[in-house]
């Protein structure tokens, strides 16, 4: 029975700890070392909470030469319309006017106004009507477009747009308080942008 | 006829006459409530049957709750997964700064900062019950019954607007459970900085140093754009957080209800076994009594 005892004793002790226990704390993930250190000081026995960065795919650094394609993320609250899609060009309805974005565009933060967002991919052009939002263009030829609402332009009913425009114009004329006026103005702006998108 | 009348009389007098020796012996072994009145020979199965009934109805309820949670989870899960793209651009642009040094901190649902001014805005009852005990004075806002209607962006942005109006902050930290699977959720903190802090950090360099290189289109000044951006970021982060949290909640409810209906099933099995055994024992006793009575007459 004790024949194997010597072999067991001779076995290096370190091998016993070779496999970590499942309760062992994993190494702190990269990203926010300062935060993890501060957390460890306050509550050493609980793992620090995750941060958004740890759920994100890392973005590549700015390449030396301009890439041929633009990588676009186009997100809505209820869907990711385009996710890391490589396209040739996008035209963004910035509040200062339509803005064409090609690969290698200078880094920009742009506020959007109601208008047409078109995505050019070879000969294919996809047009969306976006209500409002933000667009970030990064130096590494990544473009992020966040909109509150967006629909493909072929799904908009022209008759309803005309009706809505008339309705809000009438409301704007009859508005008495500032709040009503502002609401009607937003309606008119949106509908005239829709109208322009459909006719133009 | 006469025997039956006598037995009835005897039962009526049970409390008066001294307990018969058999009942006395039995009461020393069995709990008091199982004591049977004189003249009733069978062992009572009433209590077990009642418990079986109640366990069965509890099981029905938990099963139904599980079904409800599962169907709600399915709806929210797809929503939460679709909304995951929403915060990513902001993190790409503004970075992830959980360790930023600020004085006025407005947090959702949790704390990790000593000796700083921390205020809480609580969504839901769960965190309220936890926080109200030791930091009641720091709770500025408490919003409940969020999930009465299906969650959507405009609803969440109204709440975000409410919070921005009522809370003065340098950094907002949104603490929520990120849904991973039905039984696993990751506690997560996302940070939203106020425009002033963004500008300060931007000038100081470091993580937000890159922001200076971005051109700003639209709006009169950069601070105006940053203000809009911070508000929009907060509503987007909130929207995702609320969905993820709701999803985790439904997942937790579903798994809890699943395990409790399984427990009820096990309990029901045990009770059925003891019920059957008791019944069998009483039948056997009756048989023995009849047979021994008959054999006594014969002999």
Residue range B142-157, pLDDT digits in tens:
777 777 777 788 888 8
Task: For residue range A167-189, list pLDDT tens digits in order.
Answer: 988 888 888 888 888 888 888 88
A70-153: CATH class:
mainly beta
In Å, how far are A58, B62, B116 from B89, measured between CA atoms? Answer: 12, 41, 30
| Closest residue, chain B, to A113 (C-alpha) | B218
- Candidate from B84, B188, B229 with C-beta closest to A134: B229
Which range of A177-181, B114-118, B226-230 scores highest in mean pLDDT? It is: A177-181
Q: How far is A66 from chain B (nearest CA, A)?
A: 17
Q: Does B216 touch chain A (CB under 8 A)?
A: yes
Query: Does position B26 have pLDDT exceeding 50, yes or no?
Result: no
**Chain A residues with CB-CB distance to B under 8 A?**
31-32, 34-35, 38-39, 42-43, 49-53, 55-56, 59, 73, 75-80, 83, 94-96, 99, 106-111, 113, 133-134, 136, 138-139, 142, 144-146, 148
What CATH number belongs to B84-247?
3.40.1380.10
Take residue B82 and report the two structure tokens written for it. 């679709």
pLDDT band at B70 (very low <50, low <70, confident <90, very high): very high
Least confident of A16-25, A46-55, B202-211, B216-225: A16-25
| Closest residue, chain A, to B189 (C-alpha) | A51
Q: Where are the domains of chain A?
A: 70-153, 156-199
Task: For residue range B124-133, list pLDDT tens digits in order.
Answer: 777 777 778 8
Q: Residue range B221-250: average pLDDT?
A: 85
Cβ distance B232 to A109 less than 8 Å, yes or no, reads no
| Closest residue, chain B, to A133 (C-alpha) | B232
pLDDT band at B229 (very low <50, low <70, confident <90, very high): confident
| Closest residue, chain B, to A146 (C-alpha) | B86
pLDDT for position B210 = 67
Query: Does position A87 have pLDDT exceeding 50, yes or no?
Result: yes
CA B270-B275-B276 angle, to 5 degrees, is: 100
pLDDT band at A16 (very low <50, low <70, confident <90, very high): very low
pLDDT for position B213 = 72
Q: Where are the domains of chain B?
A: 84-247
pLDDT for position B237 = 86
Q: How far is A93 from chain B (nearest CA, A)?
A: 11
Asked if B105 and B116 count as a contact pair (C-beta separation under 8 A), the reply is: yes
Residue of higher predicted confidence among B205 and B192 = B192
Q: Does B25 touch chain A (CB under 8 A)?
A: no
pLDDT for position B56 = 94
Residue of higher predicted confidence among B4 and A141 = A141
């Amino acid at each position: 029975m004790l024949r194997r005892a010597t072999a067991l004793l001779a076995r290096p002790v370190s091998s016993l700890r070779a496999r970590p226990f499942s309760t062992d704390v994993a190494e702190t993930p990269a990203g926010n070392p300062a935060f993890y250190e501060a957390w460890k000081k306050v509550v050493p026995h609980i793992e620090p909470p995750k941060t958004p960065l740890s759920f994100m795919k890392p973005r590549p650094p700015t390449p030396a030469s301009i890439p041929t394609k633009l990588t676009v993320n186009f997100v809505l609250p209820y869907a990711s319309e385009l996710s890391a899609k490589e396209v040739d060009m996008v035209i963004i309805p910035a509040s200062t006017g339509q803005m064409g974005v090609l690969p290698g565009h200078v880094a920009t933060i742009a506020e959007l106004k109601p208008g047409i967002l078109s995505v050019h991919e070879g000969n294919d052009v996809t047009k969306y009507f976006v209500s409002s939002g933000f667009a970030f263009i990064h130096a590494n030829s990544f473009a992020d477009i966040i909109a509150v609402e967006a629909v493909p332009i072929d799904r908009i009913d022209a008759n309803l747009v005309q009706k809505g425009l008339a309705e809000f114009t009438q409301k704007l004329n009859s508005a008495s308080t500032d709040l009503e006026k502002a609401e009607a103005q937003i309606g008119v702006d949106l509908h005239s942008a829709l109208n322009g998108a459909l006719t133009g | 006829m006469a025997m039956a009348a006598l037995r009835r009389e005897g039962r009526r007098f049970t409390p008066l006459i001294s307990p018969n020796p058999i009942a006395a012996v039995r009461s020393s072994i069995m709990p008091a409530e199982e004591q049977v009145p004189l003249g009733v020979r069978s062992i009572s199965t009433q209590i077990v049957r009642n418990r079986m009934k109640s366990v069965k109805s509890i099981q029905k309820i938990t099963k139904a709750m599980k079904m409800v949670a599962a169907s709600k989870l399915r709806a929210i899960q797809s929503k939460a997964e679709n909304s995951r793209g929403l915060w990513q651009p902001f993190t790409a642009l503004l970075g992830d700064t959980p360790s930023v040094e600020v004085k006025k901190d407005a947090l959702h649902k949790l704390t990790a900062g000593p000796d700083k001014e921390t205020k809480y805005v609580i969504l839901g009852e769960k965190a309220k019950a936890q926080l109200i005990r030791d930091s009641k004075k720091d709770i500025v806002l408490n919003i409940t019954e969020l999930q009465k209607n299906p969650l959507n962006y405009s609803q969440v942005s109204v709440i975000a607007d409410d919070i921005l109006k009522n809370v003065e902050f340098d950094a907002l930290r949104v603490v929520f459970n990120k849904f991973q699977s039905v039984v696993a959720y990751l506690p997560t903190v996302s940070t939203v900085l106020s425009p002033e802090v963004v500008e300060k950090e931007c000038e100081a360099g470091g993580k937000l140093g890159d922001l200076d290189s971005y051109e700003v289109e639209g709006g009169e000044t950069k601070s105006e754009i940053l203000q809009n951006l911070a508000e929009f970021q907060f509503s987007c982060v909130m929207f995702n957080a609320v969905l993820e949290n709701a999803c985790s909640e439904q997942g937790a409810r579903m798994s809890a209800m699943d395990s409790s209906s399984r427990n009820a099933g096990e309990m029901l099995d045990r009770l059925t076994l003891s019920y059957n055994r008791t019944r069998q024992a009483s039948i056997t006793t009756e048989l023995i009594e009849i047979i021994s009575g008959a054999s006594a007459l014969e002999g």
